[in-house]
Amino acid sequence: MNLRPSLAAVVLFAAFGASAQPAPVTNSRMVPAQVQPDAEAALDERQAREWGLRPEEWARYRQLMEGPLGVYSPQLDPLTALGIEARSEEERRRYAELQVQAEARRVGKTLAYQRAYDAAWQRLFPGQPRVSLLGAKAQGAGNTGSGRLAVFVKADCAPCAQRVQQLQAAGTAFDLYMVGSRQDDARIRQWATQAGIDPTRVRARTITLNHDAGRWLSLGLPGDLPAVVREVNGQWQRQ
């Protein structure tokens, strides 16, 4: 998060209340200028620690995001940004390992929530098509060895609907991921209805409806949507 707590008002109030005599105007103006950098430094240190980074690495990340990298990819997380702009193989390996560890923690938490989500859906809407948070086997596009297709689509994309209809007509099982779904289940269901996806196939899990949640970007594959991909020898390839 980029929230910056403003201490100016608090510091000024404390400075004026600490003494019975009025503080010189020059001093009162200097206090927030001195404290604000300290507050920002503390926040930067905390954020760096949350990502497993050293303060100087966090400073470099911020510097990178103020340059061309931040213009082209403003949503990059610190580890990806630093990994892309790594200055050596050692740096690249370090950031890759940190990102794998961070992803493992994130996926573990998401899996736990997926189980709670599935149980809640079954209680509240038994028998209705369920939108999965993670995909048919809770790994999303990162599952391995399943041979199952992953289909990435987006709203207002006629070719996306046509490709999905072709796959469905062929009887192909696939996991559909909607890019830009904003974690809105209704948005995916509406798209699926308009695309003519058979609800019985969704209930049978031969077709699953999923939030993309950044998976398409993480695959790093070229080309526009729709994208039909499959894992081949550990690598995801367009079909």
Pick the more confident residue, 71 or 14: 71
- One-letter amino acid for residue 143 of the chain: N
Strands of the 131-132 sheet, one edge to the other = 131-132, 207-211, 174-179, 149-154, 227-232, 235-238
pLDDT surpassing 50 at residue 62: yes
Q: Looking at residue 131, what is its pLDDT?
A: 64
Task: Out of 64-73, 139-148, 211-220, pick the least confident.
Answer: 139-148
Torsion over CA: 81, 150, 106, 191 (sign): positive
Higher pLDDT, 235 or 151: 151
- Strand 174-179 vs strand 235-238: parallel, antiparallel, or unpaired? unpaired
pLDDT computed for residue 87 by the predictor: 92
Q: Where are the domains of the chain?
A: 40-124, 149-238
Helix-helix angle 158-169:185-195, to 10 degrees: 70
pLDDT for the residue 37: 67
The position carrying tokens 């070719």 is 159
Rounded mean pLDDT of 94-104? 86
Average predicted confidence (pLDDT) for the chain: 76
Q: Kindly indicate the confidence band of residue 151, based on its pLDDT and cuts at 50, 70 and 90.
A: very high
- Percentage of residues in the chain having pLDDT higher than 90: 28
**Tokens representing 123?**
């209680």
Please determine, for residue 143, whether its predicted confidence score (pLDDT) is greater than 60. no
User: And the tokens for 68?
Assistant: 């061309």
Q: pLDDT at position 94, please?
A: 92
Bigger pLDDT: 61 vs 127: 61
Q: What per-residue confidence (pLDDT) applies to 22?
A: 41
Helix (H) or strand (E) holding 150: strand 149-154
